[in-house]
Amino acid sequence: AQKITQTQPGMFVQEKEAVTLDCTYDTSDPSYGLFWYKQPSSGEMIFLIYQGSYDQQNATEGRYSLNFQKARKSANLVISASQLGDSAMYFCAMREALNTGFQKLVFGTGTRLLVSP
């Protein structure tokens, strides 16, 4: 079974600084996908960034980048130039292929990020 581990329950960062949120994964599948979602206090899970296991380059989306180290099975999220609105829970998730041909997401326990002025 696939597993996602997020070891940082909480992180603090000052506005305009960069922050790295850790994520390690475990899978025996040669092909997989990794996702990061942001969950504000409102509850909605907001898709941030995706990394495929065969992608040669690290994914980037605006201020978000994914530091993908396949050999270490890590997929850390880097947020540059933090903003107050970045304060939220952040979840790392892995796509798990199902025997039906469909897929589900397996989530970690999340990291709460607090951005201070």
Partner 1 sequence: DAGVTQSPTHLIKTRGQQVTLRCSPKSGHDTVSWYQQALGQGPQFIFQYYEEEERQRGNFPDRFSGHQFPNYSSELNVNALWLGDSALYLCASSLGTGLESETQYFGPGTRLLVL
Binding flag, residue 95, partner 1 (CB under 8 A): yes
CB 56 → partner 1: shortest distance, Å?
14
In the block, tokens 């939220």 appear at: 88
Binding flag, residue 33, partner 1 (CB under 8 A): yes
Distance CA 60, CA 44 (A): 22
- The length of the chain, given as a count of residues: 117
3-state helix, strand, coil in the chain (%, to 5): 5, 55, 45
Nearest to partner 1 of 53, 67 (CB atom):
53
Which of 21, 40, 29 lies closest to 3 in space, CA to CA?
A: 29
Binding flag, residue 107, partner 1 (CB under 8 A): yes
Nearest to partner 1 of 44, 56 (CB atom):
44
Binding flag, residue 88, partner 1 (CB under 8 A): no
Kindly list the residues in this chain that would bind partner 1 in the complex (CB under 8 A): 4, 31-33, 35, 37, 42-47, 50, 52-53, 91, 93, 95, 97-110
